[in-house]
Chain A
């Protein structure tokens, strides 16, 4: 177990270095000059020169990369934004909870939708219920989250007025002068984003869960359990679900990580200033430190999730030994 963890962590370091190097290299391939932007309207050679020196852009790429690593490891700091000199740690500190609310709440929502629908579809294949679920799946996969988000926001927020149209509320310690705050308001503001975000994944998961459950139902050991006289609910929970959910857990870890990036569409529709929106802004502003900071944060999140999933895997499937 300990050896396994150490090996995993070493791999994580390799992955981390590879990803950050790639981000750096790509950034320096892009033919723009952040120093020019920093000078804004007053682009004079002197300003650009001093800005370049100030931002550290006058040194070779590998020195910059080394400085970045040193800052990160020694000071646990991601540096300051090129655009507005804000501390990137605090930019991410503000944006991450919003994205995390969206992604985790969304994951709970899509599981709540997909597990019952998937199981019922598998138990009653080719019935009206199964076919309706199929239609939901098709719509969910085809409809873009931006479109779904706008429709929801217009219908539930504007027409019916039962939800906010957009915006975010801090659940804990809302900033001074914020329009709203508190857990209830947070939940209320997140309902539409969660559903919007969850629909695509819910659709994919319905199909996956349906297929897995149907396959497991045909296993011989399920027949064995029935022959023992186990009631159908027991057969389902003790024998079918544990086996059918294994691939779902694997996918869940990957999809939550994926969702951190995919959240940008939902974030933009509901004007949630999460990581996705911040990343898009920093990219268009040639703000390397912010981009890099978000990439680093995302990479860490993905590494941590995959580790959690692997540990969960061993818990669900006793045949897997962590060595």
Chain B
């Protein structure tokens, strides 16, 4: 086990079981102005240099507040959006520059479960068609085989095969999301990117869907990239977690590391805000409240992207020098000059910073 095998910035010395490698992914949306001739005056840097790897069979959780680029990152990985820069390597093959046509056969290897179970299913199509379409598109099996497979899938996700001829509006939110999962599973993909699959559902249904996803992972050896803004959800399902802030990955760690020993102050603030299902403990706890809003991704702060809101901000360092993703051992990385020494921490403790031990 070496430092470099999960080092997000390197492409060499991999362990060899990486299904997805993303390097320095960027997605900038142009901001234009002009009546007749549009000229670009700025760019929204929705994703600005994110690197990570996903190993075969694991679940990488991605967390961050809304607008931090999670979904954009997922759509770039799926090539539903064209990345501005960087590389996406799927099963050892660079798919960043593949054309739509060349991309098509690969789509059966990577599927996506979308956030909104209402809008993401075509209201005028029967469930059978929705689930079977990917099979049809990729020409897998005859009509009868397809139908049998779809009914099988509906059972796998906990629906009844009789639902084959129903329309999406006849289902509840949780059932619809099951349809979405069945749809993604239809062609036996290797990777499923789940873009906030449970955030539109209520808590009891969330648990059902999460357990369903876990069972499916066990039974079919699936690999997930799981996006959510709910840390409890991510904790439940992920093997490793990536924390995003303003289009950057600020911390990547295994689940245990991240939840018991976070290094980045932003991760600390997020963790301290997770509701505790015990009113007494909840009242005694002092959450670390971040001041201000997320800065505009059109005009992000210099150097460390988090410095205007960071309780550990040191002038002359954090706003001058961009912190690289530094290793903390065992594949734990965080981008901070003044990482947290221990956890848990109170807000006051967080503000007092020891001098960095022989920083770069």
Contacts and interface: CB of A to CB of B under 8 A. Distances in A.
Contacts, number: 69
B119 A221 contact: yes
Nearest to B131: A228
B37 to A, nearest CB: 11
A224 B137 contact: no
B100 interface: yes
Nearest to A239: B122
A43 B100 CA distance: 83
B121 interface: yes
A150 interface: no
A220 B119 contact: yes
A117 B319 CA distance: 53
B358 to A, nearest CB: 48
Interface stretch (A1-9, A26-34, A58-66, A229-237): A229-237
B78 interface: yes
B114 A319 contact: no
Contacts of A226: 80
A228 B122 contact: no
B137 A223 contact: no
Given A220-B114, A221-B119, A318-B167, A228 B183 contact: yes
A242 B124 contact: yes
A230 B186 CA distance: 14
A318 B126 CA distance: 9
Contacts of B138: 229
Contacts of A243: 122-124
A224 B80 CA distance: 10
Contacts of A70: none
Interface string A304-323: 00000000000011110000
A319 B108 CA distance: 30
A171 interface: no
Given A220-B120, A243-B122, A243-B124, A227 B167 contact: no
Nearest to B111: A227
Contacts of A238: 125, 133
Contacts of A215: none
A227 to B, nearest CB: 5
B80 A225 contact: no
B65 to A, nearest CB: 22
B15 interface: no
A228 B126 CA distance: 16
Interface string B119-147: 11111111000000110011000000000
B162 to A, nearest CB: 17
B102 to A, nearest CB: 11
Given A227-B111, A231-B104, A319 B121 contact: no
B119 A319 contact: no
Nearest to B103: A229
Given A227-B80, A228-B137, A221 B183 contact: no
29 contacts: A219-B119, A219-B122, A221-B119, A221-B120, A221-B121, A221-B122, A223-B120, A224-B112, A224-B114, A224-B120, A224-B183, A225-B133, A227-B78, A227-B112, A228-B111, A228-B134, A229-B107, A229-B137, A232-B100, A234-B137, A238-B125, A239-B122, A243-B123, A316-B124, A317-B124, A318-B124, A318-B126, A318-B167, A319-B124
